[in-house]
Structure 1
């Protein structure tokens, strides 16, 4: 080919590519225009087919931007027509494509991020909503776009209002209330939201004043607010009057989402419930259901396949359950709520969001438990007992169980790319959240905070997509087949019995299981019983409380022993305790089994003498069990903190106990955060002798190393952390903010979340001398028993029987702080000696047989 012809060919090739590119961009815009002109479900179906092709071909920024605009238009239609899950997916695609390719020349905030934030809020995905709203607030602040900043803060306040954080919501609203450039509509929205949040704080008088002193533009919201104020003041007739006016105003509107209408009907139903008009309430709930499910034929028994993640369904089904008298039908409505709740939960990607979401599920479970208890008392049908146990277990530690299932799947399918990606994203998310919290605590580097929030927003969407892929592939793969029969079989195997507590606002249910027995009991949490429990817990607030009045302690401990049902349990048999609520903070070993006037701790009949105790987080974990590696490789971290106020004098003696077992020890400066993270995946037993904090409502629990602290979020993200045992020889490692259903958000739980099979931790700030003694006993016993369960039990018995320890130091304060959450692992017997003995016996028999044979032969001759 001549050079001139080649030159012409290249020019023609490049021109063709450019023309094709231009044609693709135009083609995408033509498809958008066609859809916008005729926005129907059939047109949407056609657009979806075209979108699939466009997404494969779009490479230039212009083509990608056209595709972003297509996604946004599609999302807008889906949102208006109640296809919320699809709308979220469309907006997420738009945002990821826009942000990952640094696109511009499009108002991504107005047409994508704002509706996406609203959808996340409506579907209960508050963490993602918060991330997205903060994202566009940051963008607006950078551009000095005050209207968007104001609307962003208003939308952010709605999230905090919805989750009950009224104080933060009010602070945000008061911040933007001072802005001079807010529109009249924004000013009115601020006042209305201030009113609703003030109601939330139960300052009704102030709320009424605000409404009366302001000319409210949004008449519908104003009337509805007055209606619910009247309900709060127990004036349902007045409430209905206001609400009917609000309904008239609402229906005057030309366009509204089906969800908004359904929610209106559901809210109306709640007023009729207060008026005791059951029929009208049911009618309103049915209207709401018909609005959300226009193609459903059976409104009395809607098909689960037709349901989708929508909070309004929860209002409807819970309301219909409340109105129903028949137990079976009532539970059927609640089950539909649980099903929809699970659909919503599948879209959540952060622990915080999942824990918050399960609180409502837990409240729903409490209602089911009360219903089943009353029914069981009437007919004693064991099916109701088992069903109640199933309900209790379903909402116990759901977040912890889900993470455990994810790790189990990865162990089973280590080469699955979707599982690998999910695990990587989860670890990265926890790492980013950890950095974010640390920056918030130090209040440094605002720019980095913005960057972290941006990264979190994008990562959260990627994680949600990864979770959806995994759920589709492995649906029901990790669910443990669960029944009381299987539990009893496991208990027989472990020579154990089990007590399972379920804590509610007014009562505490407990199930007792033995190999041939299952009972269901109830403890009323009246003032007397609650005081007794709190009194027992407060005895351990400091070292002097018990010693100051031993008789008062033993009396309290014995009364609590009986209240919690322990007088019914088998003596001298292993005992599994699954606590709940405040019982997470009870040292059960220190309960007293009989009335006692002794002041000599060694002779007081503590429960530790009667039963060997192991704790479990939930029944599924106990049933599942854990295969232990038993390689006995130990690593210990001992910061010691010499020459500081935090000096742990006896930590050195504790480290000496581990030296006997050729443990790898990181002492003083070497016990730092970096060495911990680098070594945590290489050992079967991880021992931490340091300080810990339980955290507070606003700050997370922490673990202290020589050079730095480690927040629980960083522990969550530890990679390949699957030790047989984590020993937390540190203060308050089992204490943390108590979350309904999930338990204490503690350091110990963080290690369970990361993958630890068993954990041994403390419930309070234990004396470091006693800790050293207990830990030395633990490892001495582990040498002979090779059982974590037995060693924990014996460490306390040895301590109490040690004559060199004074009576004052044998107070339960010193020895009962450590609790073991894990498997009843059988003693590991050293069979070498049995093999040797067996071989010698065989040789002796062989020689004896030979002698006898020769003797008989001679005799015969």
Structure 2
């Protein structure tokens, strides 16, 4: 059947992408027929085969029914690993659906159709084996599972030769195994994967020595209202001298999302959160365990928030959007030769003229003047690394990234960027037009452009991104599209901001973050926590008013996704020639000192 429709790209896209979304349809067909989740997936598979395409309405309908089916599985106390298969499919489909129409997907699905289809079938059978592992003798499971791993490794090797970006597709297909997730965790680290039903919250948790699921009931309307109210007080801040914070809802959300897991979380200090799609924009760091009223007699504005019991005071927090995205390691597959420890910074691109046709397509906030503090921000960050290239103005181009980005281990982009909720694929960063490029699109680094850049940085920082429009709705695809694209393109981790933070504060915050990273030899997630705690103790003067950075507006919007184990930029070993030069100068200085003292005695 596949060969009969091979030349029909829309059908191929539908079939193959649905394979990514639901990686084990045959496994579900062979499972117990009494399972409502299996039945929903079986019907979905038949619909894909019988139609050339699936309308958005039908697509949403299938997702809703599968969502309800997961609730049934949880209510029946099914095994966590089995339910995890269904949950992961829902989260994967939300991510991949964003990139459905990009050249990154379309070109590779068309060109490598047979390769991807073959490996999809292997992953499907592998997932079937894991899901039904309890029905097999241990020795049989071990041997068969080992065989699947060898096949997967061979597929990755083939993908590297064909097109390194194909590796992303393979990792999206790879079935999730709880023991695999646990092997990657530290002794005091925990992953919490949230799922929200109509009146239920469930959290899958993974520690190095345990894994399981907790579920509890919520008032859906009250929970939704609290989310919207809490987020609006952070995303809609414009007056630096009149910042708001919804303390009561911060405590309510803490009770709903954190308190049921306290016995598990209290034993750990590093927390990775995979939020449900309905609260992707929620900054967990500023949830509070005690409903302390925000009142203070201090002359320092917002000083009262310094004593509040925020979650960040107990845990370092990082995020991901699915368990599958934790598997992505494209950067490790690219050659590391001559990468070094160099830092690239970009800032102050040349804006297009306001009467340009591009103006109509982009939000008004992009036409703000450059911040007077951005130079200080770049200076503070770059001085922490001896080797750096600081690009400004007309040097900040998409072409430079496409040609040179693979030579940098650290990348810092300080230009204005958008997390576009209405058109996720239009999320991006402002750039200067490339020389000789008269097209307006040359001023905008889009998601499609990002996929064409061979990144291999340990960490990429976006210091001036913000959500647009500033409303937490439609599952916030804008929060996913841009940072996840940078990960898919080869960066190991991405630090970005959810809302616009005044640049006078961003400069100080980023300086503290990179200082923690380098001089305290912290991993990036621990350095981010250190920077946030340091911000709470810091103050600055603004319009004759002393202002404390303890308010969550100044620090809670900075979010880290990807690897939480990125090391200090100064940890590189000194090369042999460096040791020779240092030894030579030490001997020379000692010799001069001895000679000087000997001559003095004579």
The corresponding residue for 1:801 is 537
Shift of 1:481: 5.3
Tell me the TM-score normalized by structure 1. Answer: 0.48
Deviations 1:717-749 (A, max 9, x none): 323223221111122169899766978453212
- Whether the 8 Å CA contact 1:480–1:624 is kept in 2: the answer is no
2:428 corresponds to 1:702: yes
Specify which of 278, 293, 314 is matched with residue 610 of structure 1: 314
The corresponding residue for 1:601 is 305
The corresponding residue for 2:85 is 390
Distance 1:751 1:501, change over 3 A: same
Count of matched residue positions in the alignment of Structure 1 and Structure 2: 471
The corresponding residue for 1:96 is none
Distance in structure 1 (CA, Å) of the matches to 2:277 and 2:456: 27
Shift of 1:465: 5.0
Specify which of 273, 278, 286 is matched with residue 582 of structure 1: 278
Distance 1:399 1:579, change over 3 A: closer
Q: Where do 1:402-801 residues align within 5 Å?
A: 429-430=103-104, 463-464=109-110, 466-472=112-118, 475-476=122-123, 477=152, 478=170, 479-480=173-174, 482-491=176-185, 493=186, 495-504=188-197, 507-514=200-207, 515-516=209-210, 518-524=212-218, 526-543=220-237, 548=242, 553-566=246-259, 568-569=261-262, 570-571=265-266, 573-599=269-295, 600-622=304-326, 631-639=340-348, 645-660=368-383, 661=385, 662-697=387-422, 700-707=426-433, 708-732=442-466, 744-784=479-519, 785=521, 787-801=523-537
**SS across alignment from 1:395:** helix
Greater relative CO (CA pairs within 8 A, separation 6+):
2
Q: Where do 1:206-245 residues align within 5 Å?
A: none
Shift of 1:482: 2.8
The structure in which a higher percent of residues are helix is: 1
Distance 1:711 1:733, change over 3 A: farther
**SS across alignment from 2:176:** coil
Shift of 1:622: 3.0
The corresponding residue for 1:146 is none
The corresponding residue for 1:249 is none
Distance 1:667 1:735, change over 3 A: same
Distance 1:594 1:343, change over 3 A: farther
Shift of 1:612: 0.7
- Whether the 8 Å CA contact 1:653–1:772 is kept in 2: the answer is yes
Distance 1:638 1:832, change over 3 A: closer
Deviations 1:534-557 (A, max 9, x none): 11100113336897586x622221
Shift of 1:365: 2.8
- Whether the 8 Å CA contact 2:102–2:448 is kept in 1: the answer is no
Distance in structure 1 (CA, Å) of the matches to 2:50 and 2:110: 12
Distance in structure 2 (CA, Å) of the matches to 1:126 and 1:832: 45
Structure 2 unaligned regions, length at least 5: 18-24, 124-151, 153-169, 296-303, 354-366, 434-441, 580-602
The structure in which a higher percent of residues are strand is: 2
- Whether the 8 Å CA contact 1:704–1:710 is kept in 2: the answer is yes
- Whether the 8 Å CA contact 1:724–1:757 is kept in 2: the answer is yes
Shift of 1:713: 3.6
Distance in structure 1 (CA, Å) of the matches to 2:83 and 2:539: 48
Shift of 1:636: 0.9
**Structure with greater Cα Rg:** 1
Structure 1 unaligned regions, length at least 5: 1-82, 93-115, 128-303, 308-313, 377-382, 405-425, 434-458, 837-861
Distance 1:498 1:645, change over 3 A: closer
Tell me the TM-score normalized by structure 2. Answer: 0.66
The corresponding residue for 2:137 is none
